[in-house]
Structure 1
Amino acid sequence: MSSGTAAATAAARPGGRYRWRVCAMLLAATTINYIDRQVLGVLAPFLQDEIGWSEIQYGYIVMAFQGAYAIGLLCAGALIDRFGTRIGYALAISVWSLAAMGHALAASVAGFVVARFMLGLGEAGNFPAAIKTVAEWFPRRERAFAVGIFNAGSNIGAIVAPLMVPIVAAAWGWQAAFLCTGVLSAAWLVTWLVFYRTPDQHPKLSAAELAHIRSDPPEPAVKVPWLQLLRHRQAWAFVAAKFITDPVWWLFLFWLGKFLASEYELSLAKIGLPMIVVYLMADVGSIAGGWLAGRFMRLGWSANRARKSAMLVCALCVAPVILVTQVDNLWLAVGLIGLAMAGHQGWSANVLTLPSDMFPRQTVASVVGIGGFAGAFGGMGMSYFTGSQLQSTGSYATIFLIAGSAYLVALLCVHLLAPRLEPAPFDMPRPPSG
C-alpha cells in the first residue's frame, strides 16, 4: 500500500467514538426541550375547562410560543455562530427552563401567553446549537444519522410528557407538572459546561478521530453577514422546506391531545398510551430517515440523490394522514398519525442536514435560525387557521388535508431551488502575497 493510500485509509477510519457521546448530550438536551414544550399539549384539553379559554384563545397561546420561537431563532443562530455552541447552548437552556417553570404562575390566558412567549425565546436556541455542534463533530456522511439521533429526543420528550404529566398533575396539581423539569435542565447544564469543548480543543479526542471528523474537503473560512446568506438560493431551499412542513409538526405537537380527546372521548388517564405509541413511531422515523440517506450514500449515490430520495420516502409516509378523519377506530387513527409523524421526523433528519451540506460550518447556525424562523412563522399561520377552523366548523378534515399534502410540495420547492444541492459559492481566503 502506498503512503498516500495508507494516509487516506487512516483518515477515513473513525478512530474513536467520542463524537457519539457529544451526540448523546444533544439527544438529552432535545429530550428536555420537548418535555418542557409538550407539557401544555398534554394538559390542554383539561386546562381549557379550568382556565376557560376558547379554541381561538388556545390558538393565540400557541402562536405566542411560535412567534417568540421565530424571533429567537433569528437571534440565536447569529449569536451561536458568533459566540460558539458551548456558551450559546448553556444560555438557551437556562432561559427555557426558567420559562417552563414560570407556567406554574399562570392563571389566565394572558399569563399563559407570556409564559409561552418566554419559553419560545429560550427553546429557539436548541436546534441551531445542536446542528452546528453536529457540523463541528461529524463528517458530512454521518451528519444525517447524527441529526436523526438527537432529533429523536423530540419524540422521547413527547413520550415522557404524557407518561409523567398525568401522574404528577393528579398527585400535586397541574402546576407541579411545569416545575418538575428544572432538575433535569440543571443537571444537563452542568454536564455541558464541564465536559463540552470543540473537537480542536477537546483533551479526550484522539488524533485519529479528529482526522475522521475533518476528513471532508476543506471548507471556506468565511464570515458572512446574516442578510447576505439570503442571496443564495440554497438558503431559500432550506427556508421553503421549513416554512411548508414545520407547521405540520406544530399541529401534531399542540393539537394531537385535543384531537384524540375530542374525537375519541379520551380522559386524562387514557390519553397517554395513544400519544406514546404515536411518538414511538416518530422516534423510529427520525433515526430511520437519517440512516436511509447515509445508506444510499454508502451505495455510491450522490448527496443530492440520497437526500432527496430519503425525503421522498418520508413525504409519502405522511400523505395517508389525509384519511385520518374518515376512520372510526382509535388505533387505526393512531397508526395513520404515527406514520405521518415518523415521516416528518425522517424528513427533518434530512432537511436539518441541508445547511451543513450546502454552507460552511461558520454559517450553519445562522442558516438554521433563518429556516427555523420561517417554520415558526408558518406555524403561527397554521395555528390561527386551526383554531379558527375548529371554532367555526369543529372539523379537522381540511386541516389534515393540508398536512398530508405539504411534504410533496416542499420537496418540489427544494428540488427547484437546489437541483443538485451544490455548496453555496463562497470565496476561499487568498494566501498572503510575497
Structure 2
Amino acid sequence: MTSQPLSNYRWSICALLFFATTINYLDRQVLSLTWKDFIVPEFHWRNNDYGNITGIFSIVYAGSMLFAGRLVDWMDTKRGYLWSIGIWSVGACIHAYCGIATSGILTGNWFVGFEEAKEHIATVGDIAQVVSVSVTLFIFARIVLAIGEAGNFPAAIKATAEYFPKKDRGFATSIFNAGATVGALAAPLTIPFIAAAYGWEASFVIIGALGFVWMGFWIFMYKKPHEHPRVNAAELAYIQQDDVTDSEQVTTNPGGAVQRKKMSFAGAFRYRQTWAFAVGKFMTDGVWWFFLFWTPAYLSSVYNLDSTESAWHIFFLYALTLLSIIGGWLPTYFVDKQGMNPYAGRMKAMLIFAFFPLLTLFAQPLGHISVWIPVVIIGIAGAAHQAWSANIFSTIGDMFPRSSVATITGIGGMAGGVGAFLINKGSGVLFDYSVDTNLKFMGFEGIESGYFIIFSICAVSYLIGWVIMKSLVPHYAPITDID
C-alpha cells in the first residue's frame, strides 16, 4: 500500500454509468408516455396492442440479455458498452419513422413528412390494417431497442466490478442504478411536452440522440484502472484490495504470466448461485417494468388524467424511488457494524426491502380517497425494487469471478425479461378483458379490477423470490471450482 493520497476517478466512471442508465430509461419511457394521447388517435391501438409491443420488447430483451452478457465479456467493457448504446439509440430514433412507414405501406406515400403521413393514414378505411401495420413496425423498432438495451446492465456491472472493491460495489451499483429513477423522473417532465409541441415523433428522435452524445464521453474517459493515467497507485491498490480471492480463479502459464480462468457459458448453469440470481430477477423485474410501462395508462384509465396532467404525479412517484440509494448503503452498514460477510448483509437488506411492495395491495382500495395515495404507494414500492435490484446485482460480484460477471448478469437479465414479458403481455390481455366483460373482483369492477389483480401479484413477488434465493444459496458460497 502507499501513503499517496487516494484519487477518486472511479466515481467519474460511476457517473458515466449513471448517465447511461438514465438515457436507457428515458428511451424506454417515450412510448409509454405518448401512446395513449398521441399515438392511439393516429393508429387506433387498444390495451392488448400496447401489451403486445411491450411484451415482445420484454421477451427480446430477455433473449438478448442471455447473449449480451457473454458478448460484453468477450468484447470487454469499453467496446461492449459502445456497441450496446449505439444500437439502442438507433432503435429509439427509428420509432419516429413508423408513421411514415405505415403511410408508405398502406397508401404508397413514402417520401412525406410526419404530418403528411398522418393525413394519408387517416384516409385508410380499414382500421384493422392500420393497427396491424403500425403495431408490426413499432415491434420492429422495439426489437432493435431491446437488443441494444440488453447490454447496459452487463456492461455497467462489469465496469463496477473493475473499478470498485467488493465492499463498495453495492453502493456504486445503487448510484448508477438510480439513473433508472432519474430517467423515469425526467421522462414525464419532458417527453409529453416535446410531443405536444413538436409531435410524438420528435420525442423519440430527441431523446434517442442523447445516447450518441454519451458515446463520445465514454470513448475518451474509459480505460481499465491499471491503464488509466487519472487512477493513481493508491486508488489502484484500493480498487484491487480483493483482486485475487477464493472467487477469483487464476492460473500461471509457462511464461510466468497470471491468467484468469473463464467460466464457460454452459458451465454457468451448473451453479446454484446462477439459479438463485436468475430466480430473483425473474420474480421481480416484471414488477418494475409494469410500473414503468403501465403507470401512465393507469392514471389515464382509472383517474382520467392525460399525459400532461399526470406529469407531476409520475415525477413525484419516481422522486420517491430515489430513496433506493439507501439500498446500497444498508449492506455496507451490516458489513462494517455487524461484521457480516457481503452476501449475508445483502440478503438481510433484500429481505427488508421485500416487505415494502406489500403496500401495493392497498393502492387500488385507497385510491378512491385520492389519486396521490396509489402514486405514493407505487413510488415506495419502486424505491424498494431499485434497492433490491442494486443488491441482487452485487451478489454476482460476491459469488463469481470478475471474468464471468457480465455473463451471469446476462443470464439473470434474461430471466427478468421473461418475467417482464409475462406481466406486460398478461396485463394488456387482462385489462381489455376487464373492460369488455366488466369484470368484478374483490369489490372492483372493469379496469380497476384488472389493476387490483396485477398490483396483488406485484405485492408478493419479492418475498417469494427472496425465499427461493435463500433456499438455493443459504450462506456465502463463492465459486471456487471453475473447470
Q: TM-score, normalised by structure 1?
A: 0.94
Amino acid at match of 1:120: A
8 A contact 1:14–1:212 mirrored in 2: no
Whether the 8 Å contact between 1:68 and 1:121 is mirrored in structure 2 is yes
Give the aligned residue type for 2:54: V
Alignment of 1:340-419 (within 5 A): 340-393=381-434, 394=447, 395-419=450-474
Matched residue count:
418
**Deviation sequence 1:330-361 (CA, Å, 0-9, x none):** 11111111110000000001011111110000
Contact 2:192–2:307, Cα closer than 8 Å, also in 1:
yes
- Superposed displacement of residue 217, structure 1: 5.3
* Distance (whole Å) between structure 2 residues aligned to residue 120 and residue 362 of structure 1: 24
Question: Take 1:349 and 1:297, find their aligned partners in 2: how far apart are those partners?
Answer: 16
Change (3 A) 1:304 1:182: closer
Hey, what does 1:76 align to over in structure 2? 68
Decide which moves more: 177-186 or 352-361. Answer: 177-186
Change (3 A) 1:230 1:110: same
Q: CA deviation at 1:182?
A: 4.0
Write out aligned runs for 1:312-331 (5 A): 312-327=351-366, 328=368, 329-331=370-372
Shift of 1:211: 0.4
Aligned partner of 1:102 among 94, 100, 120: 94
* Contact preservation (8 Å) 1:222, 1:426: no
Alignment pair present for 1:65 and 2:103: no
Deviations 1:25-61 (A, max 9, x none): 0001000111111111111322234321121111110
Q: Which amino acid aligns with 1:278?
A: L
Instruction: For 1:400 and 1:182, locate their aligned partners in 2 and report how far apart those are by CA, in whole Å.
Output: 31
The question of 1:55 aligning with 2:47 is answered yes
**Contact 2:262 / 2:482 at 8 angstroms: preserved in 1?**
no
Q: Is the 8 A contact 1:281 1:342 kept in 2?
A: yes
Instruction: Give the AA of the match of 2:139.
Output: V
Letter in 2 for 1:289: G
Amino acid at match of 2:290: L
Kept after mapping to 2: 8 A contact 1:68/1:118: no
Sequence identity percentage: 40
Asked if the contact 2:343–2:395 (Cα under 8 Å) also holds between the matched residues in 1, the reply is no
Q: Which one of the candidate residues 328, 335, 344 is aligned to 1:297?
A: 335
Q: Counterpart of 2:233?
A: 207
Structure with higher Rg: it is 2
Aligned to 1:163: 189
Q: CA deviation at 1:278?
A: 1.0
CA distance in 1, matches of 2:261, 2:172: 25
The answer to which of 300-309 and 372-381 deviates more is 300-309
Which residue in the other structure is 1:3 paired with?
A: none
Distance 2:45 2:482 in 1: 54
Deviations, residues 253-285 of structure 1 (Å, cap 9, x unaligned): 110110111111112221110111111111221
Q: Does 1:248 align with 2:287?
A: yes
Deviates more, 1:308-317 or 1:138-147: 308-317
Tell me, which stretches of 5 or more residues in structure 2 are unaligned?
100-133, 250-259, 435-446
User: 5+ residue gaps in structure 1?
Assistant: 1-6, 429-434
Q: Is the aligned partner of 1:420 residue 2:482?
A: no
Paired residue for 2:215? 189
Distance 1:69 1:52, change over 3 A: same
Q: Counterpart in 2 of 1:338?
A: 379
- Distance in structure 1 (CA, Å) of the matches to 2:381 and 2:311: 19
Q: Within 2, Cα distance between the matches of 1:49 and 1:261?
A: 15
Q: Distance in 1 between matches of 2:47 and 2:418?
A: 20
Q: Match of 2:131?
A: none
The question of 1:122 aligning with 2:163 is answered no
Match of 1:431 in 2: none
Q: CA RMSD in A?
A: 1.4
Tell whether the 8 Å contact from 1:77 to 1:365 is kept in structure 2 after alignment. yes
Q: Does 1:148 align with 2:181?
A: no
